[in-house]
Amino acid sequence: MSSAALLRAMLDVEQAWLDALVTAGVAPAAARVEVTSLAGAGDVATLAQAAVATGTPVSGLVALLRERAESRGEVEAARWLHRGLTSQDVVDTALVLCLREAAARIARALDEQVASLAHLVRAHVSTPMLGRTLTQAATPTTFGLVASGWLAAVLDAADDLAAATRRGWPIQAGGAVGTSAALLELCAGERDRAAAVLAHAADALELRLVTPWHTVRTPITRAGDALVRCADAWGLLAGDVLLLGSTDVGEVTEADGGGSSTMPHKSNPVRATLLRRLALTAPGLASTLHVAAGQQASQRAPGAWHAEAAVLADLARQVAAGAELATALVGSLEIHPDVMRAHLDATAGVDSEQRVMAGLVGRSPGGAEGYLGLAEHACAQILDRATAPEVPS
């Protein structure tokens, strides 16, 4: 979510609103103009500087749009641009548009990861390996079960992201204090006409028409939480890959690892390292969104909603990049069952205590493969979930 992308989204919002005013018969037909042609990426720096003075990028943007419209002879457009909106309406709706685009991109990556991980689980459902708890050797498990944990986490992330989409991304259009009083005044008190403007704008942007949420920041925190859930899932994957791929373990490795500037023999797990970094930093960004949500005041808050845009943009940008990294990581994994077997054989006695306890109640689990419990059943359950058709909630 770049500054240029946010500017494009703000222009889309102003375009949809102006078109809605014209379509509903509030503004004259002469007010219609291609708003998106009046500004672009080249204006980002100027608008950012203006935002320092006004506290929002919208004031400078509207002034710029009106100035350029007038210079083209579009006097009515200049007169009607932004009428009935407040700056937070534009920023919030633009953020929602950017989030929707990012979420769609991330969702596609998650779908790819689900397919790849499901294949990995099926291929290794019975591949025995040493289980490890608190970094120490434990009882046997299967690599299929380990991979099914990654798959379950990715499925959870996909579910959370899909829930945000199913709820519908909301438009923000409440005016100065959330009453839409300015819009109703423009409509000469005709409530149906005002409602039509709101509906036209929401339809044009393909957003859900809801009551104003200037100080009820649930759409923002929900989106942030869904993004962090993705980072959590990839952090689990990355943590296991880093452990299993260490030089003294070598059971799972990244193909095409990164090199070292001073040790040419090394192949560093770059993707897993970057995903772990994301998992460590993303929750902190989302926590800022929650802090801001709890510090709203009156009908529009000073500082609280201003704190969101940069943080949310950073979070969305990092998670979108992480989605590509995670897809590449899953596709690059090299599995070494022979090494897993060697480590399992070398620690054959670590499960002796549990095996003795099983013997005391007349149960003999047999060899290592016989002491895998319900690993295969658990894998099957996760695979069923991965292949089940989506049921709308």
**Catalytic residue set:** 260, 300
Burial 9-23 (b: 16+ CB within 10 A, else e): bbbbbbbbbbbbbbb
Residue 28 and residue 186 in contact, taking contact as beta carbons nearer than 8 Å: no
Q: What is the DSSP string of 82-140?
A: TTT--HHHHHHHHHHHHHHHHHHHHHHHHHHHHHHHHHHHHHTTT-EEEEEETTEEEEE
Alpha-carbon distance 255 to 258, whole Å? 9
SS3 227: helix
Say how many C-beta atoms besides its own lie within 10 A of residue 148's C-beta.
Answer: 28
Encoded tokens for 135: 């970094």
Say how many C-beta atoms besides its own lie within 10 A of residue 141's C-beta.
Answer: 22
Q: Which residues contact 118 (CB under 8 A, 6 or more apart)?
A: 151, 383, 386, 387
- Pairing of β 252-254 and β 136-142: unpaired
CA atoms within 13 A on the CB side of 333: 30
Q: Whole-angstrom distance between the N-terminal and C-terminal Cα of the chain?
A: 28
Type of residue at 60: G
CA atoms within 13 A on the CB side of 181: 4
| Integer angstrom CA distances of residue 62 from 65, 171, 241, 363 | 5, 19, 50, 77
| Integer angstrom CA distances of residue 102 from 87, 99, 199, 266 | 23, 5, 24, 35
CA atoms within 13 A on the CB side of 359: 7
